[in-house]
Amino acid sequence: MGINKEYRFNFKEYASLGDLSSEYQVLVSEALDAQKSSYSPYSNFAVGASVLLANGEIVQGSNQENGAFPSGMCAERVALFYAGSKYPGVAVKAIAITASFKGVGPLEPISPCGACRQVMLETRNIGNTPMEVIMVGERRIYVIDDVTLMLPFSFFKVDEAIKG
């Protein structure tokens, strides 16, 4: 007989962009700006992401689709991989995620896909510091204290899983 367990976490909900700290307002603004470079002719779903690094730099990314699906890349991974390439070893403090469909923003916050969550988690672990996740919608904004909360059963290094 198994033991029944439960997983829960708390997150912050904000009514508008103006309720966020000025630092996060800038980060969301950068994510919205990043949407402009989205290449999404197939889905018409433009996603922008911006990451705030521990050194104060902000790096943008947008989704890049490809006719040879699934050869495209999500905005979150574009931003995180670019940050890792340009600023190796610099921790990511926060990531903001915005989106629009045919130019109209979603009413509810957009959540990152599982692949992006895994990359976010590994990036967080490389930096060894919590990474806040800011998901933006027209009606509300969610801020999660650490990406680890969004992926409790994440894939991790096999050598760590087999320690005996």
User: Sign of the C-alpha dihedral, residues 151, 9, 27, 29?
Assistant: positive
Determine which one of 30, 65, 76, 132 is catalytic.
76
Q: Is the pLDDT of residue 161 over 60?
A: no
> Would you place residue 29 in the very low, low, confident or very high pLDDT band (cuts 50, 70, 90)?
very high
CATH 3.40.140.10 fits 17-161, yes or no: yes
Query: What pLDDT band is residue 157 in, cutting at 50, 70 and 90?
Result: low
CA–chain centroid gap for 158, Å, is 24
Q: Where are the alpha helices (DSSP H) in 35-150?
A: 75-86, 114-127
CA–CA gap between residue 69 and residue 105 (Å, rounded)? 24
pTM equals: 0.92
Instruction: Assess whether the previous peptide bond of 70 is cis (omega < 30° from 0).
Output: yes
Q: How far is CA 126 from CA 6, 58, 120, 123, in A?
A: 28, 18, 10, 5
Domain spans of the chain?
17-161
For this structure, is 132 an active site residue?
Answer: no
pLDDT of 163 over the 90 cut: no
